A and B are shown apart, each in its own frame.
Chain A
Amino acid sequence: MRYLPLTSADRAEMLESIGAASVDDLFVDVPAQARLPGPIEGLPAHASEMAVERHMSALAAKNVSAGSAPFFLGAGAYRHHVPASVDHLIQRGEFLTAYTPYQPEIAQGTLQVLFEFQTQVARLFGTDIANASMYDGSTACWEAILMAARVTRKGKAVLSSGLHPHYGEVVRTMAKFTKDEIVSLNTELTAEPDDAAVIAQIDDKTSCVVVQYPDVLGRIPDLSAIAEAAHAKGALLVAVVTEPVALGLIEAPGNLGADIVVGEGQSLGVGLQFGGPYLGLFGCREKFVRQMPGRLCGQTVDADGKRGFVLTLSTREQHIRREKATSNICTNSGLCALAFSIHLTLLGGEGLAKLAAVNHARAQAMIERLGRIPGVEVLNEAYFNEATLVLPRDAREVVRELAERGVLGGVSLGRLFPVADGLHKGLLVAATETTTAEDIETFATQLEELLVGVPA
């Protein structure tokens, strides 16, 4: 077995040194009836690299990869070009095979990266501080609601109808058990986001309002107005960013009054990977730092006075506070945070702005072209790289038929909101810098054919 360095002779010698007759002597605490007599049934014996690669490659080949077809999906996961150096660097063994930096003297590489990452996220979000990442955007969103409840000592969270429905599901699932009150609003096909409806729900019991920016239909809420209304009632504004590239073009939520900004960082440095691993971003005002969930890396000095970094404020965390911890989270998303950070370092602020401008331009080209198809309406007045079309027929069927024609043509609102009424004709389409003019033309041609003769 290529991964096991002990030889049979080693094993025999070691057993003799420790005075055991056989390895079974080491399992004496396991009751005999619970011990398996031999290798577990069903699973084949060990296999060579070549054989395993053959099996896995065959499974991979059954999937249509995003890069192999005209591709227009978004809805919380975006296909961007990841520079080659990102993947090379995260595969350095010193990053890939290191553990959580609990021994800071020999983990300064990881720690400095986390410190740089926190600074980048804070600057991108316009918040004072940021943590060292969380599982993903949806769990970061739930953690933000819990934190807002700790800060305000109130327990009612208002979710905008523009929040990604899966994020809303995660929040509602968790809240069932914590007894937090969650107010959800119904998503409707309107050109403007539901700012007014959100504001109308804020009262003295409200701990926070949760608003996605841009929202799940690609619309852009007026965060300043919502922040003002929330603050007037002693509530916090939690802004959720599922497409961080947007912040190269539109204003950072922290600069618009958001108290906590969370997001999904997958767009930068991390591939689509069928949904994970991704990374949750989490930034907030400095005065909330002791209520923050997740790991934090802080600057300090070593015994020689040299600058160095450590994990800090760990008394908030589960391994010390146990049942009084701010969160039960133990792991962050270190390697994805590294990829995010490298990609953002390669881009810089100007590169990010340029990238955002290209994304927006491609989206405009896409929306203009698709909007010319008879029967297709464009919902949004404003969008970044993703917008909602209203088709003359069920969008879910259209997406399936497009797939048969070799086009991955967006995400139907029927898939995203399976139980909601009145959304089934909605189609969410995204473009990024990877989208070509030919892709758009192929998509438009195929969509047009599928809609021929359908009454609007």
Chain B
Amino acid sequence: MITKDEVEHVGWLARIEIDEQDADSYAAHLNTVLEYFGQLDEVDTENVDPTYHVVDVVNVFREDVVTESLTQEEALGNTKSKQDGHFKAPKIM
């Protein structure tokens, strides 16, 4: 069972603000989803290989050849928060 606290914790991890009321309703919704997974768990998968990727393809590679990068101006084009050619973020610690 997912609790309201867990919903708030997951919200914090994803940096999403969830208010008290919503947390209760999300917990209920998530529990419905988990119940469905519970049903899936009943299927016997004893001799089935795990699926790591939905497409049955492996080894998609590219050669080690340089392609053109963006210019610094282009790279910083979408931000207002910049300083000396860098992106600028608030202090971390």
Tell whether A pairs with B: no
Residues of B within 8 A of A (CB): none
